[in-house]
């Protein structure tokens, strides 16, 4: 029986994780569950799963919370959930840079971190990998592309890999012209064709910033240089990613899109457990097609990959600027093309720096947020 701490239990990945626990009550039990602000929703989950600890990181404890669960609030409490003594696995399903410190704390405490929060690795890849080495913790990806790559690698060394090919659905605007993109609303962008996800990652999928975040995530997770990581649009989201070996063989991992399987694999890895879900049917899946990423219509992709290649704190700046710009797009202050414009403007002003301490990363993150806020305040759409 493994104890699982679920950071972000009330979110989309959190729901997938609890569905996995439902199918394996004899293998996994929830020891800590956390929410950001939605204490009432967490209260219902606590009643059902009976964790030892429930944390509302940014809001009050819901009225009537009782039972055998200890209730806490605040950032320190979130770190307590990330390092809970009964947790063997910490599923980090927080959204944004807020996930970084819990990832570091869990790895330093020697936990397995099932990582959905890709932003942790993007903001501070070297620090995260160092925390895992020093604390004896282990990082297992939940992101479907990285779970696919892990499964394709199956223990193969990095020397045997020629290339990683990350697939991207292309998002809801895959076929939109630049002129149409200028009129895209949050409602349009939130209508994802193949995945049902939280709002931030859904907008990142629409801009393709998500794929850039994933290229950076793959670079750190698998130790593969950027020039050997590519992205390709695959609208059906059946092939979750591919690995080309040095001999030319290409391995792909496939299935109908669901996040429950990558979560299950991150919890059970390297073991495989039986699971009830929609069985794959190649005939029903139909034709599988591929297209190049269009960097002109989706400039956030190129900006993110360039920030990854630059290294140091540039990826943290990319991430923070993107978080602020996405929030303003959702709030109506920025048009869709304004997201990439804001991110590009902020990156253009960044003078660089090493990501050699948490303080340096947090400073770059805070600078990027201020700079992007200023851009948004002065924003006039160019067309």
Question: Smallest Cα–Cα separation from 206: which of 93, 339, 105, 117?
Answer: 339
Of all residues in this chain, which one has the CB nearest to Mg ion in the complex?
Answer: 143
Cα 334 to Cα 105: distance, rounded to the nearest angstrom: 35
Contacts of 352 (CB under 8 A, 6+ apart): 310, 312, 313, 314
Please indicate if the annotation marks 36 as binding a ligand.
yes
Decide: 353 and 313 in contact? Cβ < 8 Å.
yes
Compute the radius of gyration of the chain from its Cα atoms: 20
271 among the known binding-site residues?
A: no
Q: Which of residues 139-158 bind Mg ion (CB under 5 A)?
A: 143-145
Residue 117, annotated ligand binder?
Answer: yes
Interface residue with ligand NDP, options 3, 14, 43, 315 (CB under 6 A): 14
**Interface with ligand NDP, residue 118, by CB under 6 A:** yes
Instruction: Check whether 10 is labelled as a binding-site residue.
Output: yes
State residue 36 phi and psi, 5-degree precision.
-80, -70
Residue 116 within binding range of ligand NDP, rule CB under 6 A:
yes
Among positions 18, 79, 93, 216, the unique one binding ligand NDP when judged by CB under 6 A: 93
Across the beta sheet with 239-245, the strand order is 229-233, 161-168, 239-245, 250-254
Site string for ligand NDP, 47-66 (x = CB under 6 A): ----------xx--------
Q: Is 294 annotated as a binding residue?
A: no
Three-state DSSP class for residue 257: coil
127, 128, 143, 242: which one binds ligand NDP (CB under 6 A): 143
Residue 120 or 268 with smaller CB distance to ligand NDP: 120
Q: For residue 133, is the peptide bond before it cis, meaning its omega torsion is within 30 degrees of 0? A: no
Residue of the chain from 5, 10, 236, 237 that contacts ligand NDP (CB under 6 A): 10
Encoding tokens for residue 348?
């253009």
Q: Are strands 53-56 and 138-141 parallel, antiparallel or unpaired?
A: unpaired
Least Å distance between CB 328 and Mg ion? 23
- Regarding 201 and contact with ligand NDP (CB under 6 A), the answer is yes
Would you call 356 helix, strand, or coil by DSSP? coil
Does 244 contact ligand NDP by CB under 6 A?
no
Q: Is 217 in the site for Mg ion (CB under 5 A)?
A: no
- Residues forming contacts to Mg ion in the complex (CB under 5 A) are 143-145
Q: Which residues are annotated as a binding site for 1-deoxy-D-xylulose 5-phosphate?
A: 118, 144-145, 169, 192, 205, 210-211, 214
């Amino acid at each position: 029986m493994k104890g699982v701490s679920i950071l972000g239990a009330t979110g989309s990945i959190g729901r997938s994780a609890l569905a996995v626990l439902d199918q394996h009550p004899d293998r996994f039990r929830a020891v800590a569950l956390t929410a950001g602000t939605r204490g009432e929703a967490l209260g219902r989950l606590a009643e059902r799963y009976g964790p030892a600890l429930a944390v509302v990181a940014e809001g009050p404890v819901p009225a009537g919370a009782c039972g055998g669960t200890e209730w806490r609030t605040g950032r320190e409490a979130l770190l307590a959930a990330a390092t809970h003594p009964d947790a063997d696995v910490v599923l980090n399903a927080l959204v944004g840079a807020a996930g970084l410190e819990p990832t570091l704390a869990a790895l330093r405490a020697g936990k397995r971190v099932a990582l959905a929060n890709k932003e942790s690795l993007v903001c501070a890849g070297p620090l995260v990998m160092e925390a895992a080495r020093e604390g004896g913790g282990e990082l297992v990806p939940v992101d479907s592309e990285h779970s696919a790559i892990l499964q394709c690698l199956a223990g193969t060394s990095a020397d045997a890999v020629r290339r990683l090919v990350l697939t991207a659905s292309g998002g809801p605007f895959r076929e939109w012209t630049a002129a149409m993109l200028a009129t895209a609303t949050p409602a349009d962008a939130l209508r994802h064709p193949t995945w049902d996800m939280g709002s931030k990652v859904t907008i990142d999928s629409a801009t393709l910033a998500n794929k850039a975040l994933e290229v950076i995530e793959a670079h750190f997770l698998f130790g593969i240089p950027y020039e050997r990581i590519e992205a390709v649009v695959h609208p059906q989201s059946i092939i979750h990613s591919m690995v080309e070996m040095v001999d030319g063989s290409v391995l792909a991992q496939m299935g109908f899109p669901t996040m429950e399987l990558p979560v299950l694999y991150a919890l059970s890895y390297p073991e495989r457990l039986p699971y009830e879900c929609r069985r794959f049917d190649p005939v029903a899946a139909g034709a599988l097609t591929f297209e190049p990423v269009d960097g002109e219509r989706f400039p956030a992709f190129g900006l993110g990959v360039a920030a990854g290649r630059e290294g140091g704190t540039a990826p943290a700046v990319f991430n923070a600027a993107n978080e602020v710009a996405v929030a303003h797009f959702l709030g109506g202050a920025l048009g869709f093309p304004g997201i990439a414009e804001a991110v590009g403007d902020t990156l253009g002003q960044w003078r660089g720096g090493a990501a050699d301490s948490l303080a340096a990363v947090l400073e770059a993150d805070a600078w990027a947020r201020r700079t992007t806020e200023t851009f948004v305040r002065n924003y006039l759409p160019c067309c």
